[in-house]
Amino acid sequence: MEEEKSSKSKKTKLLIVLISILTVLGILLITFSLLFSFGILGDRKAVLSYGEGEEESAEETTDSEQAETEDEISVESEDGTSSVAEENAEVTLISVEEVYEIITNNEDYFILDVRNQDEYDEVHIEGAVLISVNTLESRLDELPWDKPIITYCKSGGRSAAAASILVENGFTEVYDMGGITEWIDKGYPTVSEE
């Protein structure tokens, strides 16, 4: 009888230890998920492959940030520039404040929106030209070689991919603003086609 109680007691203790371990692991998993989702862990990302030749569907673009996280690697260096090594060409990160200043000073830059048509129609920076990242390589001839190009998307993934494509194809002054979400959050002017 005493052995039976001892056996049940050991099983109960083992079960309590197992539940405690799983609880701690669950808490750690939730903590890391939150840290990544708020950008506390992880650097700026660049998409290596965005599904060449595939067009975005309406379902894919309702959560563009999710689509931007596929096949990503970190490209930000210690000095704050984003190095996409292709014969010493670089993608330079540029803040929304700097882009706003460029636009208000009428500086001669080419603003490239690399989202899809629906996103562009909903909201975009005035004067920006829309060329989706999915069609960018086949439309490089529409871009100016004599002006600096600033890319942007919704949250930064597609603009980094587009900037990389531009550098890989010989464009030398390429800037990545990241996402229009930050632009909107700062209260900078936008236009809509709707």
Cite the active site residues: 153
* Closest by CA position to 160, among listed 54, 80, 83, 101: 83
Q: Are 151 and 163 in contact (CB under 8 A)?
A: yes
What is the Cβ-side half-sphere exposure of residue 50, based on CA atoms within 13 angstroms?
29
Contacts of 94-103 with CB under 8 Å at 24 or more apart are 94/150, 94/175, 94/176, 94/177, 95/177, 96/177, 96/178, 96/182, 96/183, 96/186, 96/188, 97/186, 99/125, 99/150, 99/152, 99/175, 99/177, 99/183, 100/183, 100/186, 100/188, 102/150, 103/127
Backbone angle region of 39, left / alpha / beta, with phi > 0 → left and psi within -120 to 50 → alpha:
left
Query: Tokens standing for 120?
Result: 């562009």
Question: Nearest Cα to 119, choosing from 163, 64, 184?
Answer: 64
